Amino acid sequence: MIELLIVVAIILIIAAIAIPNLLRSKIAANEAASASTMRSIGTANVLYLSVYNQGFAGNLRQLGPTGGGCATVGSDCAGLLDATLSGVSPSTPTPIKSGYLFTYTPATAAPTPAAPNASYSVVGTPVGPGSTGVSTFCLDGGNIYLIWRDTSGGTTTGTGAGCAPTWVPGGTVGPV
């Protein structure tokens, strides 16, 4: 009986060490996936900018696949992002992927060739701060390869002008 108790105690000690490491690994994986997702949004927006001649997209749905409001690929449904990330399925303006909520803020919600969208920002915030992620991320049209990261999880907004007004360099904020 004592041997069984010793084995159970050893298993509990190993579990107490392993579970926090597993949770930290999951958070790190979610944060890496969030940064990768933001790069995908940036790349899709650059393609949208060059193909449709109306600046950046007015919302994530415009970067998404056909369906719902569009039957064919065009400026309203460019087919550059998957249905989940673009907020097409499930239908939402703030899609969730890999434990992060993505909020897209354009300069103009309805860009046209006469009034193109010159900028945007997209912010990724953890759905469950401390459990699905710790850092928040921001990307804008100024440089799609520069993703700002706030390791405190405090900065959660972007503007239609980009990340720069609220995501200043220094402190806990810095590029990824």
Average pLDDT, the chain: 86
| Helices of type H across the chain | 2-52, 83-86
**Residue 3: predicted pLDDT:** 87
If you average pLDDT over residues 137-158, what whole number do you get?
Answer: 80
From residue 128, how far is each of 65, 96, 101, 141 by CA, in Å? 28, 11, 10, 27
Report the alpha-carbon distance of residue 137 to residue 122 in Å, rounded: 8
What's the structural domain count of the chain?
A: 1
**Residue 170: predicted pLDDT:** 47
Chain segment 5-32, per-residue pLDDT in tens: 898 989 988 888 888 888 889 999 999 9
**Residue 171: predicted pLDDT:** 45
Q: What's the pTM value of the predicted model, to 2 decimals?
A: 0.84
Chain segment 75-106, per-residue pLDDT in tens: 888 989 998 998 888 888 899 999 999 999 99
If you average pLDDT over residues 50-68, what whole number do you get?
Answer: 89
If you average pLDDT over residues 107-126, what whole number do you get?
Answer: 90
Structural domain including 41 reads 2-175
Contact predicate 133/110, CB 8 Å: no
- Residue of higher predicted confidence among 173 and 117: 117
Report the alpha-carbon distance of residue 140 to residue 45 in Å, rounded: 10
Chain segment 156-173, per-residue pLDDT in tens: 788 888 886 667 554 455
- Residue of higher predicted confidence among 154 and 122: 122
94: number of Cβ within 10 Å: 12
Can you tell me which residue has the tokens 């990768």? Answer: 36
